[in-house]
Amino acid sequence: MANRWINTLKDSDVTPETTFLNRRQMIAGAAAAGLASIGGSLSAKEALEPNSYEDITQYNNFYEFGTGKTDPAANAHTLVTAPWTVEIDGLVDKPGAYTFEDIMKAMTIEERIYRFRCVEAWSMVIPWNGFELADLLNMAGVQSGAKYVAFETALRPDEMPGVRFPVLDWPYVEGLRLDEAMHPLTIMATGIYGKDIPNQNGAPLRLVVPWKYGFKSIKSIVKITLTDKEPATSWNKANAREYGFYSNVNPEVSHPRWSQASERPVGGGLFAKRIPTLMFNGYEEEVAGLYTGMDLKTNF
């Protein structure tokens, strides 16, 4: 089993709670990303600018509750998160329906805070509460033939107004190679800043894979399947040209419609200076070995 990850980020590196929990101010930053890049660079720590909780909770991506950036915060209160059950099946020794309470009881001894950088159209440092996905998979007993792990988000039209529209092929699905899933950096998050994850952020249980783009970190998980075949994933099915199965943060591979060589830190507002995007989002030393010999421009 891989060694536990040693956290090198400090408390001072963490994006302030008020800046993370609501993203309305980032609308300006996202719009600015389409403008000419502002010269110069600064560290993510220097670029942080605290925002109010009210501002930031209004901007999120969770298409099951609508495609507008303020839709999830407005609509996600309808999601019933208790009771919650995760079905684990496929190539495992102990398939079955695991309640959230049973999972948490089994994982409590390992649950701790992970300070991770994350990148989508912007970057931030988030202290997730959670446990390693490997611990959950080991609890179910991974069989020798397993090569991939597939994940599925809840599909509840009565609670999720966004799924009434064919924006994606519902339910939302994602997947990892088994060695990626078992890596110590891959966690199941249950909280942020010591608080339960808000519904719009993926309550009560979501994946966090910090060296990949945010859409790989699937929210509100209800099913995990161990399989010997590469699973289909929602964004890859929707547009394979733009969303590869791996979706590693790689500044050397441009998205077909924009460069991924730089990012805009959360909290800097309209005129925040862009900073260079780091290979594997800054976790190159820990995860580059997973892709030895692979062409990362082909396997994007």
pLDDT on residue 122:
72
pLDDT on residue 25:
42
Sign of the alpha-carbon dihedral angle for 221, 246, 211, 132: positive
pLDDT on residue 255:
83
Query: How many Cβ atoms are within 10 Å of 101's Cβ, its own excluded?
Result: 12
Pairing of strands 148-153, 221-227: antiparallel
Q: Alpha-carbon distance 141 to 127, whole Å?
A: 29
CATH number of 11-291: 3.90.420.10
Tokens, residue 195: 């608080």
Q: Alpha-carbon distance 217 to 210, whole Å?
A: 8
Q: What is the pTM of this model?
A: 0.83
- CA distances in angstroms from 154 to 14, 86, 109, 158, 176, listed in the order given: 30, 10, 27, 11, 18
Tokens, residue 25: 């101010």
Cβ pair 33, 264 in contact under 8 A: yes
Rg over alpha carbons for the chain, rounded to the nearest Å, is 18
Query: How many Cβ atoms are within 10 Å of 262's Cβ, its own excluded?
Result: 16
Instruction: Describe the strand order of the beta sheet including 85-90 as a list of residue ranges.
Output: 96-99, 85-90, 221-227, 148-153, 173-177
Which residue matches tokens 């010997």? 228
pLDDT on residue 154:
98
Pairing of strands 96-99, 148-153: unpaired
pLDDT on residue 264:
76
Query: Which regions in the chain score pLDDT beneath 50?
Result: 23-48, 50-57
pLDDT on residue 67:
93
pLDDT on residue 37:
26
Domain extents in the chain:
11-291
Q: What is the dihedral of CA 174, 177, 182, 186, to 10 degrees?
A: -40
pLDDT on residue 268:
65
Q: SS3 sequence, the chain?
A: CCCCCCCCCCHHHCCCHHHHCCECCHHHHHHHCCCCCCCCCCCHHHHCCCCCHHHHCCCCCCHHHCCCCCHHHHHHHHCCCCCCEEEEEECECCCEEEEHHHHHHHHCCCCEEEEEEEECCEEEEEEEEEEEHHHHHHHHCECCCCCEEEEEECCCCCCCHHHHCCCCCCCCEEEEEHHHHCCCCCEEEEEECCEECCHHHCCCCEEECCCECHHHCCCCEEEEEEECCCCCCHHHHHCCCCCCCCCECCCCCCECCECCCEEEECCCCCCCCCEECCHHHHCHHHHHHHHCCCCCCCCC
pLDDT on residue 43:
35
pLDDT on residue 7:
62
